């Protein structure tokens, strides 16, 4: 399970309004944990690392959460730098969170590198009785932005792997995007003698 520094590293961001379920999805996918009580945004890590194999080839995913900076919409340009993929999350039981997605798409499209893969996720599909956003509406919004879509439940584990597997699949199909992270020529290392500087390109 130890990270293999030589694996190709993909930087994938989670964005979307507060309370949409970004951290819950990330924690369910990475740690297979779910805390229904927790409603606070931050998970307190710079990024989570997960090794994922797609079509027999392994990748190292650096998964970044908003660290609460979505609350007042203060995500910085630097958050988006070098990201290969962006997962946009809304809550199917909260119509406002769905209506906010247009602005989140706009922010992601104007800040992420050209060609970065977007992926739309409707979360909390277990809350079917409280649903205020139809599945078709999610599909339609995703189509409009030319990206893939699914609904997930971090509580019941339904579909939690799907967004990650499918976005990685889409990223690795685009060699130009994949190579974009190895563009670090012309940069210099400032870490001096300290080891372990080779890996992270995010």
Partner 1 sequence: MESLSDTPWDVVIEGTGLQQSLLALALSRSNKKVLHVDQNEYYGSSEAAFSLQDVDEWVEKVNTFDTKSFRNAAIWKSPTEAGKLGVSRAYTLTLSPQIIYTKSKLLSQLVSSKVYKQLEFQAVGNWWIYDVSSVAALKRLPNGREDIFEDASIDNRSKRSLMKFLKFVVEYQNHGEIWEAVAENSFPAFLTSHFKLPESLQTVLVALTLSLDSPDDTPVGYALPRIQRHLSSIGLFGPGFGAVLPKWGGGAEIAQVACRAGAVGGGVYVLGTGIKSSQTNGEKTEVVLSNSETIVTKHLAHDPDNQRKPDTKAVSKVVAIVSSPFSTLFKSSVEGSPLAAVSFIVFPLRPSASKARLIRSTLWHTQAKRANVRQVNEQSLVSLDLAFHDEALEEVETKWNAIVESADEQKPFMQFEERTGMTDEDDDNENGY
Query: Contact positions toward partner 1, by CB under 8 A?
Result: 1-3, 18, 29-31, 42-56, 67-69, 71-74, 76-79, 81, 110-111, 158-162, 164-165, 184-192, 194, 200, 202
Distance from chain centroid for Cα 142 = 15
In the block, tokens 């030319």 appear at: 146
In angstroms, give the least distance from the CB of 76 to partner 1.
Answer: 4
Question: The tokens of 69 are what?
Answer: 């900076």
CB of 65 to partner 1, least distance (A): 9
Other CB atoms within 10 Å distance of the CB of residue 107: 18
- Minimum Å gap between C-beta 137 and partner 1 is 21
Cβ proximity to partner 1: between 129 and 191 the closer is 191
Q: With residue 22 as reference, give the H or E element that holds it.
A: helix 22-31
How far, in Å, are 16, 119, 128 from residue 85 at the CA level?
Answer: 14, 8, 28
Provide the minimum distance between the beta carbon of 140 and partner 1 in the complex, in angstroms, as a whole number: 22
Cβ closest to partner 1, residue 82 vs residue 147 = 82
Of 72 and 129, the one with the shorter C-beta distance to partner 1 is 72
CB of 107 to partner 1, least distance (A): 12
Considering beta carbons, is residue 135 or 159 the nearer one to partner 1?
159
* Residue 34 · residue 27 · CB < 8 Å: yes
Residue 3 vs 132, nearer CB to partner 1 = 3
For 20, which DSSP code?
Answer: S
The H or E element containing residue 139 is: helix 135-144
């Amino acid at each position: 399970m130890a990270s293999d520094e030589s694996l190709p590293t993909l930087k994938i961001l989670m964005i979307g309004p507060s309370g949409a379920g970004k951290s819950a999805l990330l924690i369910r996918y990475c740690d297979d944990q779910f805390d229904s009580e927790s409603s606070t945004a931050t998970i307190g890590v710079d990024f989570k690392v997960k090794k994922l194999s797609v079509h027999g080839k392994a990748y190292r995913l650096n998964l970044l959460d908003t660290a609460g900076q979505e609350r007042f919409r203060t995500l910085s340009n630097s958050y988006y730098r070098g990201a290969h993929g962006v997962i946009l999350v809304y809550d199917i039981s909260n119509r406002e969170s769905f209506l906010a997605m247009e602005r989140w798409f706009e922010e992601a499209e104007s800040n992420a590198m050209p060609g970065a893969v977007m992926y739309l996720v409707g979360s909390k599909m277990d809350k079917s009785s409280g649903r205020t956003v139809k599945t078709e509406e999610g599909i339609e919004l995703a189509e409009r932005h030319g990206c893939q879509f699914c609904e997930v439940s971090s509580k019941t584990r339904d579909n939690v792997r799907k967004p990650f597997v499918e976005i990685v699949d889409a990223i690795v199909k685009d060699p130009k995007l994949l190579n974009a992270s190895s563009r670090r020529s012309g940069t210099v290392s400032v870490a001096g003698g300290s080891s372990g500087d080779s890996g992270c390109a995010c």
